[in-house]
A and B are shown apart, each in its own frame.
Chain A
Amino acid sequence: MRLTDTLRFARDAATGYPMRTTLSVLAMSIGVAAVVILTALGDGARRYVVAQFSSLGTNLIIVLPGRSGTGGFNPANAITSTPRDLTIDDAGSLRRLPGVRRVAPLAVGTSEINFGGKLREVMVAGSTAEFIPIRNFEIAQGQSLPEEDWNRGSSVTVIGAKIREEMFGNNPAIGQLVRVGDRRLRVIGVLKSTGQGLGMNTDELVIVPVSLAQAMFNSNTLFRIMIEANSRDAIPGVKDQAMDTLKQRHRGEEDVTVITQDAVLATFDKLLGALTLAVAGIAAISLAVAGILVMNVMLVAVTQRTGEIGLLKALGATARTIRLAFLAEAAMLSAVGALVGYLLGQLGAFALRQFFPVFPAYPPDWAVIAGLSTALATGLIFGVMPARRAARLDPVQALMKH
C-alpha cells in the first residue's frame, strides 16, 4: 500500500470511531500539556529567582558574621567560638584590597518614621554612599548619602519611593526633617521605585549613615559587608583576600563567612533546575500512562475490526501492510494528542504569564522537545504490539467473526 493511502486509511479508521479516538487523544494531550505547563512553572521559578539575585548587584561578594559550614559540633567550639562582631573598621580594611571597586558596610534594623503626625514602621539600612551603586539603586530626587568618614554619620537619610509617598504625599520631601526612632534626620534623597525585590523591599527602606544606624540600634556589629569586585575574574581573588584580611584582624580565627553572588546563584540555579527536571519526570509518567491508553485503545480496535482485518487479508493485504496501517493509526492518535497538548500547554503557560506578569513562565525548549518526542515514541512503541497482533490474525478465523 502507498504511504498516502496508508495514512488516509489510518485517518479514516481513527475518525470512524470518534469516541475512543477523542479519549485517547485527550489522554495524550493532557500528558503533553502537563509537561509543558509544569516545566514552564519550574523554569519560570528558576528564572525569577536568578533574575532577583542578579538585581542585587553585579560581581558581588558578601561577608557575613559567623562561621557557617564544616566542622560539626564540638564542645570546645561551644565555649570558644562565639563569633566576633563584624565592625565598620573591618569593612574599611577591605577597601584597600586589590581588585575591589566598592565596599559598603550594612547594618539593619526596624524603627519608626514620623513626620507631620504620620507614623510608620520602616526597615532602616545603615550604610554608606557606595551602598547605592553596589545594589544598583538609583536616586530619583535629591542626592545620595554624603561621602564622609564612615564613623562620623551625619543626620541625613535617603528614603524609599513608597515611604516618600505615604509620608509626604504631593509635598516636596527633600530638605524636610523627619524623626526616625529617637533621631531627627534631614531627607536628602529619594530612591527610584524598583518594585518587589528579594529579601527587602527597597520602596519601603530608609537608608541612613552606618554609624548613625549602629548608634540607633545600640550595636557595634554589621549585618553584612558588601564588596563589589572590579570584574567577574577578580571575584575569587577578592574573596580569598577578604577572608585572609578578616582572619588576621580577628586574631587568626575564621569567624566570618564570605560568599559570592555567583555561588548563591549557581546553587539556586542548580536547585531549581533539578526541581524542574523532577516535575518534568512526574509529568512524563502521565505520558507513559497515555501511551498505555493508546495501546489499550488499539488492542480494542484490533478486536473490533477483526472481520475487517480478515477481509483485508483476503483482498491481498500482506502482514506488513496491516501492521503499518495499525501503527500509522497509533502514531496518528499520539501525534494529534501531542500537538493538541502542546497547544494547550502553551495556552496554559500564556495564561500563567497573564495572571502573574513578574513570573516568566516559559516552557524550556528541552522540555517541549522531550515531551513531544516522548509522546510520539510511547505512541509508536505501544502501537507495535496491537499492530503485530492484527497482522498475525488467521484470515479464516477473522472472516468468520464479522
Chain B
Amino acid sequence: MSLIELSGIERRFLLGDTTVHALAGLNLQINAGEYVAVMGPSGSGKSTLLNLLGLLDRPNEGTYKLEGRDVTTLSPDEQATVRSTRIGFVFQSFHLVPRLTAAENIALPMTLAGTPATERNRRVAQALKDFGLDQRADHKPDQLSGGQRQRVAIARATIMQPALILADEPTGNLDRHTGDEVVNLLEALNAKGVTLIVVTHDQGMGARARRQLIMEDGRLKADLQQATMPNLAQISG
C-alpha cells in the first residue's frame, strides 16, 4: 500500500474572473520511505501540491488517500489531528515563534497536542541533543544563526514522529554550506524511514532525491526514478 495516493486531483483558483488551474488531473503515488523532490518553474503548482499533501488545502476534485485513508472528506478538526500526528512541515523562512525559546519552539506541536509536560521535556531534551542544539535550548530564534533556526524547525517537524515530512525550499534562505548540512539532516531522517518530500528550485538538491517530479502548469511533466540508486524491487527479485 502506498503512503500517498492522489487520483484525479483538481485545484482551481479564481483570479479576478479567470480560473487558474493550479493542479489539473493529477495522479500520483508515493510509497512509504521515499525521497521525492518536486521541481518546476514558479507557478507550476509545486506549492499547491505541497499544501494539499499537508492538508492545509483541499482539492476541488479528486481524492487523496494518506496511509489508505481518504483524508479529503475529513472535518477540519480531524485534518488538524492528522497534521499533528502524521505530517511534519519545514518552511523556507523557518516559521519559528519569535517569543519562544528553541526548546519551546521544538515542543510546540506536543504542547498543541496536549502531551504531558514530563514527556515533552524528555523528548525535547533528546531532540536538542540529536540536532546538536543542547547549548542553544534557551535561545530565542533571533539569537540563532540561519542554520540553527532551520535545525530547530526540523526538530519541531520530527518531534511528533510523523510518517511524512514536507519541506518547502528548506535551503532557500541558507548559504550553500549550511544548506548542505540541513539537507544531510533531512536525508538522515529519510534513511531512518521517514518519507521526505522536498519542493525546490535548486537542481543540485533535486538531483540528490531518488525520485524527481517535474511539474509544469499544474500537471506532472516527468516522474524520474534515479537510476543510480538500487531499486528495492530489483534487489529482492
A contacts, CB < 8 Å to B: 1-2, 5, 9, 12-13, 15-16, 307-308, 311-321, 395-396, 399, 402
B51 interface neighbour in A15, A321, A396, Cβ under 8 Å: A396
Known: A12-B99, A318-B77. A1 touches B84 (CB 8 A): no
Q: Quote the shortest CB–CB distance from A326 to chain B (angstroms).
A: 14
Q: Quote the shortest CB–CB distance from B92 to chain A (angstroms).
A: 10
Q: How far is the CA of A314 from the CA of B57 in the complex (A)?
A: 11
Inter-subunit contact A316/B97 (CB<8 Å): no
Q: Is B165 an interface residue (CB 8 A)?
A: no
Known: A1-B112, A312-B112, A399-B56. A319 touches B95 (CB 8 A): no
Q: How far is the CA of A28 from the CA of B98 in the complex (A)?
A: 27
- In the bound complex, residues from chain A placing their C-beta under 8 Å from that of B84 are 315-317
Known: A1-B111, A12-B99, A399-B56. A318 touches B93 (CB 8 A): no
Q: Is B199 an interface residue (CB 8 A)?
A: no
Q: Is B74 an interface residue (CB 8 A)?
A: no
Q: How far is the CA of A316 from the CA of B54 in the complex (A)?
A: 10
- In the bound complex, residues from chain A placing their C-beta under 8 Å from that of B100 are 12
Inter-subunit contact B76/A319 (CB<8 Å): yes
Inter-subunit contact B83/A314 (CB<8 Å): yes
B109 interface neighbour in A315, A319, A395, Cβ under 8 Å: A315
Q: Which B residues from 3 to 59 make CB contacts under 8 A with A?
A: 51, 54, 56-57
A313 interface neighbour in B80, B85, B114, Cβ under 8 Å: B80
- In the bound complex, residues from chain A placing their C-beta under 8 Å from that of B54 are 314
Q: Is B156 an interface residue (CB 8 A)?
A: yes
Q: Quote the shortest CB–CB distance from A387 to chain B (angstroms).
A: 16
Task: Give per-residue flags for B58-99: 1 if the beta carbon is below 8 A from chain A beta carbons, else 0.
Answer: 000000000000000000110011111100010101010111
Inter-subunit contact B91/A399 (CB<8 Å): yes
Given contacts A312-B112, A314-B95, A315-B84, 16 further A-B contacts (CB under 8 A): A2-B114, A12-B99, A311-B95, A312-B108, A313-B56, A313-B80, A315-B112, A315-B156, A316-B82, A316-B84, A316-B109, A319-B77, A395-B56, A396-B57, A402-B91, A402-B93
Q: Is B207 an interface residue (CB 8 A)?
A: no
Q: Quote the shortest CB–CB distance from A398 to chain B (angstroms).
A: 9
Q: Quote the shortest CB–CB distance from A44 to chain B (angstroms).
A: 45
Q: Is B113 an interface residue (CB 8 A)?
A: yes
Q: Quote the shortest CB–CB distance from A9 to chain B (angstroms).
A: 7
Q: Quote the shortest CB–CB distance from A212 to chain B (angstroms).
A: 85
- In the bound complex, residues from chain A placing their C-beta under 8 Å from that of B91 are 399, 402
Q: How far is the CA of A35 from the CA of B84 in the complex (A)?
A: 46
Q: How far is the CA of A13 from the CA of B97 in the complex (A)?
A: 10
Q: How far is the CA of A315 from the CA of B86 in the complex (A)?
A: 10
Q: How far is the CA of A63 from the CA of B21 in the complex (A)?
A: 96
- In the bound complex, residues from chain B placing their C-beta under 8 Å from that of A9 are 111
- In the bound complex, residues from chain B placing their C-beta under 8 Å from that of A5 are 111, 114
Inter-subunit contact B77/A320 (CB<8 Å): yes
Known: A12-B100, A396-B51. A318 touches B76 (CB 8 A): yes
B113 interface neighbour in A16, A308, A316, A399, Cβ under 8 Å: A316
Known: A396-B51, A399-B56. A317 touches B99 (CB 8 A): no
A5, A12, A13 — most chain B CB neighbours (10 Å): A5
Q: How far is the CA of A226 from the CA of B114 in the complex (A)?
A: 76
- In the bound complex, residues from chain B placing their C-beta under 8 Å from that of A320 are 77
Inter-subunit contact B111/A314 (CB<8 Å): no
Q: How far is the CA of A104 from the CA of B90 in the complex (A)?
A: 95
Chain A residue nearest in CB terms to B97: A308
- In the bound complex, residues from chain B placing their C-beta under 8 Å from that of A12 are 99-100
B83 interface neighbour in A16, A308, A315, Cβ under 8 Å: A315
- In the bound complex, residues from chain A placing their C-beta under 8 Å from that of B112 are 1, 312, 315-317, 321
- In the bound complex, residues from chain A placing their C-beta under 8 Å from that of B93 are 402
Q: Quote the shortest CB–CB distance from B188 to chain A (angstroms).
A: 22
- In the bound complex, residues from chain B placing their C-beta under 8 Å from that of A315 are 83-84, 89, 108-109, 112, 156
B89, B97, B113 — most chain A CB neighbours (10 Å): B97
- In the bound complex, residues from chain A placing their C-beta under 8 Å from that of B51 are 396
- In the bound complex, residues from chain A placing their C-beta under 8 Å from that of B83 are 313-316
Can you list 17 A-B pairs with a CB-CB distance of less than 8 A?
A1-B113, A2-B114, A12-B100, A16-B98, A312-B108, A314-B83, A314-B89, A315-B83, A315-B109, A316-B82, A316-B85, A316-B109, A316-B160, A318-B80, A318-B81, A395-B56, A402-B91
- In the bound complex, residues from chain B placing their C-beta under 8 Å from that of A399 are 56, 91, 95
